[in-house]
Amino acid sequence: MINSKPTSVPLAAHFQLCKDQCRKTDSEKERMKNVPYSNAIGSVMYLMVSTRPDIAYA
């Protein structure tokens, strides 16, 4: 990383997740129960590798 250059990222460094971002209604919670955890993580990893390879291998 000696030759790396700083760049802006779409997410602020001080960004924190909170309970307000969780599913609130019962219908949202039921819908998420039908999504297997491994599929959800796999989708996020695919997006990370295909759209931001710089952070995928950081």
- pLDDT at 1 exceeding the cut of 80: no
Model confidence at 57, pLDDT cuts 50, 70, 90, reads: low
Contact 36, 42 (CB under 8 A): no
More confident residue, 32 or 53: 32
pLDDT, residue 18, reads: 78
Note the pLDDT tens digit of each residue in 6-32.
766 666 667 677 777 777 888 888 888
Domain ranges for the chain, please list them: 28-56
Distance of CA 46 to the CA centre of its chain: 10
